[in-house]
Amino acid sequence: MADRRRTSRFRVRAAAVTRATLLAIAGACASATGVAGGTTSSSTTALRPRLVVMIVVDQFREPYLERYGDLFTGGFRRLLDQGRLYTRATHDHAITETAVGHATLATGVYPMRHGIVANEWQERTPKGLVDVSNVDDSTVKIVGSPTLTGVSPHYLMRTGLADWIVAANPRSQVASVSAKDRAAVQPAAHAKGQVYWFEPRAGRFVTSTYYRDRYPAWSDEFTARELPRFARDSVWASTIPAAALGRASADTVPWEADGVHTSFPHRFVDEGHPGEYWSWFSATPMLDAATLAYARTMVSSLGLGRDDAPDFLNVSLSQTDRVGHTYGPLSREQLDNLLRLDRELGEFFTFLDRTVGAGRWVVGLSADHGSLVAPETPWPGERAGRRGTAEEKKMLTAIRDSAAKLENDPATAARIAAALRRLPFVADAYMHAQLMSPSNGAPTDSFAVLERRVLSSIASSKAGPVTCAAPATAVRTGTIGTCPCSSWGRVSRRAAIRPARRRWTSRPRSRA
């Protein structure tokens, strides 16, 4: 059993990960609500916002605002100076992935209620386990690219903010755009609005037949005229001021990217593949700039926020997540990405002031989840670690494979827990029953707290057995790109074992 100090350290660490959420209301919109100093004006109705903007920055850790806040001069700076910052807002669920976070933000309920329990999961059927992706839908097609897998919100079991706005006023419009399909679809909930995401195989922002059968003229025009200007920039060069270089990790470190192309400048000719420019582009900050450009086009072409029916616009910015996975949260690439995003958001807010009207739009900004850092570059106050070796990974793989062969044997869990305890880099291992049913009625340690959060993320009445192994805090395997977004793998140096190998097997049950 962990001592109190270890449990306390875990909780601090877990909070740093889950406290990824920033919710800021633009100061320009304070007057839009008609509220000042706790009183309401007679013009409250006339000044209600005509456009509700939801911005999600994928993998945006709250400590970025403290670490780099003085470097921000655009959108982040405006939110910090004129908005309201919630520093202790959290996603109180364990599976902190993009689809889960977006669906939770959109619906306001736990994953076990809205049904999006992960980016991908497995469901038991009479024919065995079936892989499920959160937005895949074989009954619809991608417009203009019928060979690609169709996308819709059909797995989302709850209505969301976009649905509520349209229910309150059928004349309200819903628009959503992102680099990722799930980050565009989930925030729009079930509303059949203007929903688009970037598809590098199509070389454009696409939609599915769930929403419409053909692209509007303004979307085709953006593809023909606006998108090509992003194709002219095939070099990602650093824009970090020289005085700020020391705020991030070294530019050349072996654990970034592919271990070879780890420093600025990043060039398509060096890192990309012939004929696949948009795939390389999709890993750079420039895609966020294109996403915001598409959002501006939607606002102008659809007339969002131009009448008394409030409209909803979601803009989910994915590149902080992609850069974070590839290079790490404290990398120079991430710092450059954040500085670029700050400038782009500043320009976007100015555009909304000019187009919709200052004080006539309201914005909320949040992360969908946080992230872990590279073990070699911990956040201040955290211990540095090391990477797992190939031999250590082989040991874990052997134990996992043996569990898979005997997953229906009730004695397997105890045998696997014992095998894990014998590994020098695992501090301890517990079976599920030990975690969830301690003799004194309280969680045995901090890992039990996380395990209960897992159960709040899936349906307890239908959940399949869970297998979860956490190597020691000081050990992580793989490159930055394989690090999880959630607390998995950093859980107080413990391992939890249940007699199976699947994390979940079913969608959550309906709300009681």
Highest mean pLDDT among 32-41, 98-107, 373-382: 98-107
pLDDT 10s digits, 278-323: 999 999 999 999 999 999 999 999 999 999 999 999 999 999 999 9
Domain assignment present for residue 505? The answer is: no
Q: Among 180, 154, 121, which residue's Cα sits nearest to residue 454?
A: 121
Q: Among 123, 120, 61, which residue's Cα sits nearest to residue 486?
A: 61
What average pLDDT does the structure give for the chain? 80
Both 295 and 194 in one domain: the answer is yes
Torsion sign, CA atoms 484, 69, 182, 165: positive
Of 308, 341, 367, which residue constitutes the final position of a domain? 367
pLDDT at 365: 96
Average pLDDT, integer, range 76-104: 90
Residue 501 neighbours by CB distance under 10 Å: 16
Quick one: angle between helices 286-302 and 319-327, nearest 10? 170
Q: Among 265, 144, 272, 268, which residue's Cα sits nearest to residue 216?
A: 144
| Domain membership of residue 328 as a residue range | 21-35+44-367
pLDDT at 512: 33
pLDDT at 39: 39
pLDDT at 116: 94
Task: Kindly indicate the confidence band of residue 448, based on its pLDDT and cuts at 50, 70 and 90.
Answer: low
Element (H, E) at 51: strand 51-57
Buried b (16+ CB within 10 A) or exposed e, 378-388: eeeebeebebb
Of 334, 367, 400, which residue constitutes the final position of a domain? 367
**pLDDT above 90 coverage of the chain, percent:** 57
Both 73 and 202 in one domain: the answer is yes
**Residue with more model confidence, 338 or 457:** 338
What does DSSP assign to residue 511? P
Domain assignment present for residue 138? The answer is: yes
**Residue with more model confidence, 491 or 438:** 438
Lowest mean pLDDT among 72-76, 110-114, 198-202, 292-296: 110-114
Task: Kindly indicate the confidence band of residue 213, based on its pLDDT and cuts at 50, 70 and 90.
Answer: very high
Domain assignment present for residue 509? The answer is: no
Domain assignment present for residue 13? The answer is: no
How many structural domains is the chain composed of? 2
pLDDT for 333 beyond 70: yes
CA 207 – CA 210 distance, rounded (Å): 8
Both 344 and 395 in one domain: the answer is no
Domain assignment present for residue 512? The answer is: no
What the block records as the tokens of 387 is 């990477």
Of 316, 346, 367, which residue constitutes the final position of a domain? 367
Q: Among 456, 446, 447, 440, which residue's Cα sits nearest to residue 498?
A: 447
Would you call 438 exposed, middle or buried from its count of C-beta atoms within 10 A (0-12, 13-18, 19+)?
middle
Average pLDDT, integer, range 215-231: 97
Task: Kindly indicate the confidence band of residue 411, based on its pLDDT and cuts at 50, 70 and 90.
Answer: confident
Query: Distances in Å between the alpha carbon of 307 and those of 32, 84, 168?
Result: 14, 27, 15
Domain assignment present for residue 469? The answer is: yes
pLDDT at 475: 35
pLDDT for 1 beyond 50: no
pLDDT at 457: 63
Q: Find residue 160's DSSP bridge partners.
A: none
pLDDT at 36: 30
Both 113 and 138 in one domain: the answer is yes
Both 357 and 410 in one domain: the answer is no
Domain assignment present for residue 70? The answer is: yes
Q: Report strand pairing: 266-267 vs 235-236.
A: antiparallel
pLDDT 10s digits, 451-510: 666 666 664 433 433 334 343 333 333 333 333 343 222 222 223 333 332 333 233 333
pLDDT at 20: 39
**Residue with more model confidence, 71 or 6:** 71
87 touches 63 (CB < 8 A): no
Q: Among 389, 368, 385, 387, which residue's Cα sits nearest to residue 480?
A: 387
Domain assignment present for residue 508? The answer is: no
Both 210 and 354 in one domain: the answer is yes
Both 347 and 267 in one domain: the answer is yes
Both 356 and 382 in one domain: the answer is no
pLDDT for 17 beyond 60: no
pLDDT at 456: 61
pLDDT 10s digits, 224-237: 999 999 998 899 99
Q: What is the pTM of this model?
A: 0.81
pLDDT at 159: 98
Quick one: angle between helices 98-107 and 181-188, nearest 10? 20
Average pLDDT, integer, range 159-172: 98
pLDDT at 441: 59
**pLDDT above 70 coverage of the chain, percent:** 75
End-to-end Cα spacing for the chain: 35
Task: Kindly indicate the confidence band of residue 112, based on its pLDDT and cuts at 50, 70 and 90.
Answer: confident
Both 351 and 408 in one domain: the answer is no
Average pLDDT, integer, range 12-36: 36
Both 86 and 127 in one domain: the answer is yes
pLDDT at 443: 58
What does DSSP assign to residue 438? -
Both 265 and 167 in one domain: the answer is yes
pLDDT at 429: 81
349 touches 75 (CB < 8 A): yes
Task: Kindly indicate the confidence band of residue 444, based on its pLDDT and cuts at 50, 70 and 90.
Answer: low
Kindly report the CATH number assigned to the domain that includes residue 310: 3.40.720.10
CA 413 – CA 407 distance, rounded (Å): 8
Q: Which residues are catalytic?
A: 98
pLDDT at 124: 76
Please compute, for residue 401, the number of CA atoms within 13 A of its CA located in the half-sphere on the CB side: 6
Both 303 and 397 in one domain: the answer is no
125 touches 131 (CB < 8 A): no
Task: Kindly indicate the confidence band of residue 442, based on its pLDDT and cuts at 50, 70 and 90.
Answer: low
